[in-house]
Chains A and B, each alone.
Chain A
Amino acid sequence: MADPGPGRRGPLVVRWVGAFGRFWWDFLIGDTPELFAGVVVVLGILALLCLRPGLRTAAALAAPVLVAGVLTASVHRAARRRGP
């Protein structure tokens, strides 16, 4: 593809912001969006549980179980995609 030339690439700041956004997108989401979404959901559930002070220890105990569930789902998804 032909080089669009410096005039059509946009200002340096825009390119830097774009590159910065792409870095974080690749860093956090990349090819495993289910992990990012899963973590957001887990943190939401924990935050809801912690609204009731009596459930704060239960929330801590539930955290690793929920996170392990996210990992299992993602690994299962990857294995299925490589399936027969």
Chain B
Amino acid sequence: MLVAAATPTGAAVLVTAVFLASAVEMVEALTIVLAVGVTRGWRSALEGAAAALAALGALVAAFGPALVHWVPLSVLRLIVGGLLLVFGLQWLRKAVLRAAGLKAKHDEDAIFAEQVAELSAGRPPSGRDATAFAVAFKGVFLEGLEVVVIVLTLGTTSHRLGLATLAAVAAVSVVAVAGLVVHRQLSGVPENAMKMGVGLMLVSFGTFWSAEGVHATWPGSDLAIPALVAFYGFMAWLLVAALRNHAAPRSDGLASTGGPARG
């Protein structure tokens, strides 16, 4: 089998994974940009966000083709698969712990309020605001780096870098438009459910490609990917149920609520 995402099924899973991951990260970035815009003015906030997006785009353009041309496919799949596995397992672990009530849910409202309080401390200058630019740039760039890693790894390994980039751009556009429409942080977005979905897909792709990287043979070829998503989804459901059952008899406040959770 040469290209995992060559079939409609593989391409659909690829687009869904990149779109959801990008949307989740951009919701977090949007929260920061909105906080900067509200407190320090929109010009520098939007300039910082635009500069960060340009830098992220340059990273994809610089490293994407280089990875495809210079790294052998089996090595690329092993390394990329391993990266996706580690990354995806981190997402899935957090989502399972949050679903089971053992970790505080990501609270965009609290993060927004925290950012506004920090940024309100200094009086914004009348012209360009270096602080606003820097905070917006850093927020978008750091959140976007995870998206870049996902786009590069999923895109290059499946030889669908263009499709993965388009999915990420679509997610960024949707979140940006939603932000303009509601003009506030997107606290209503079911972020934990989306992170669970992304984690499942990253772990599935990671398993598939890392195993191919060491020359394992998948029964059913590409069809193994949705089967892996279903298997890991079942495992996550089992873990959440087991943790809830384990925590239910205790009423000692296991759910951590010590402030807004990040990431």
State the A residues within 8 Å of B (CB): 23, 27-28, 30, 32, 35-36, 38-40, 42-43, 46-47, 49-50, 56-57, 59-61, 63-64, 67-68, 70-72, 74-75, 78-79, 82, 84
Contact = CB atoms under 8 A, between A and B. Distances in A.
Given A42-B85, A67-B203, A68-B235, 13 more contacts: A23-B145, A35-B90, A43-B214, A46-B211, A57-B219, A60-B218, A67-B206, A71-B93, A74-B89, A74-B93, A75-B239, A79-B243, A82-B254
Contacts of B203: 67, 71
Contact of B210 (A43, A72, A82): A43
A35 B207 contact: no
Nearest to A77: B93
B85 A46 contact: no
B224 A84 contact: no
Interface in B44-89: 78, 82-83, 85-87, 89
27 contacts: A27-B87, A32-B90, A32-B93, A39-B86, A43-B210, A43-B214, A46-B210, A50-B216, A56-B217, A57-B216, A59-B214, A59-B216, A60-B217, A60-B219, A63-B216, A64-B232, A67-B85, A67-B206, A67-B207, A70-B89, A71-B92, A71-B93, A71-B96, A71-B203, A75-B97, A79-B247, A82-B102
Interface of B (DSSP majority class): helix
A10 B93 CA distance: 38
A71 to B, nearest CB: 6
B215 interface: yes
Contacts of B100: 79
A81 B237 CA distance: 21
A32 B103 CA distance: 15
